[in-house]
Amino acid sequence: MKRMGLMLTLAAVLLPLACKVAKKHRLSRKPVVVLDMDVVAERSLPGRAAAQYIRTVKNILHRSVEETRLAWQGREQTPEGIRAISQAQSNYQQQLALYQKKLDNEIGDIVSAAVRSWLSRNKHVAAVVPADETLGYNKTADITRQIMAEVDWYKPSFPPLPRTRANRAVL
């Protein structure tokens, strides 16, 4: 019995202390926040500029394919015509993929710099995680608007636009 009384007394003293330590530990942990990368890419100024730029690139590259088709009009079913048009279409796909990768890298670098800048001012946050890589999150953890405001300060630098056959002839 004495032993049981001692255990209860000890528990009564240690339990509030343990709760206090647990609460302090829980409050001292830094939160993790989330960022919706799709929203940043679609709605930020650099993201919209990149979307417009890639549309322009697609138009220029498509024009180059059409110029090749016109150059082989009437002879497009010959082996040389088929090869030339196939080469133009393949070039279109390769160039478009290359430009898209460069744009993705540029926007990724801008978002990374904005996140680093934001984290330097918000030292209480442990990490920023892409929203689509979570199983779910509370809306209070979403910092997309704050990062978008940061991203909008950056000016993207895009590679020179591709040249069509007509542009090359003029140059």
Q: Round to whole Å and give the CA distance between 122 and 118.
A: 6
pTM: 0.73
Q: How far apart are CA 37 and CA 132, in angstroms?
A: 8
How many whole angstroms from its chain centre is CA 12?
A: 52
Tell me the pLDDT tens digit for each residue of 34-89.
Answer: 999 999 999 999 999 999 999 999 999 999 999 999 999 999 899 999 999 999 99
Q: What is the pLDDT of residue 160?
A: 92
List pLDDT tens digits, range 98-125: 999 999 999 999 999 999 999 999 999 9
Between CA 48 and CA 84 the distance in angstroms is: 34
Q: What angle do CA 19, 22, 28 make, to 5 degrees?
A: 140
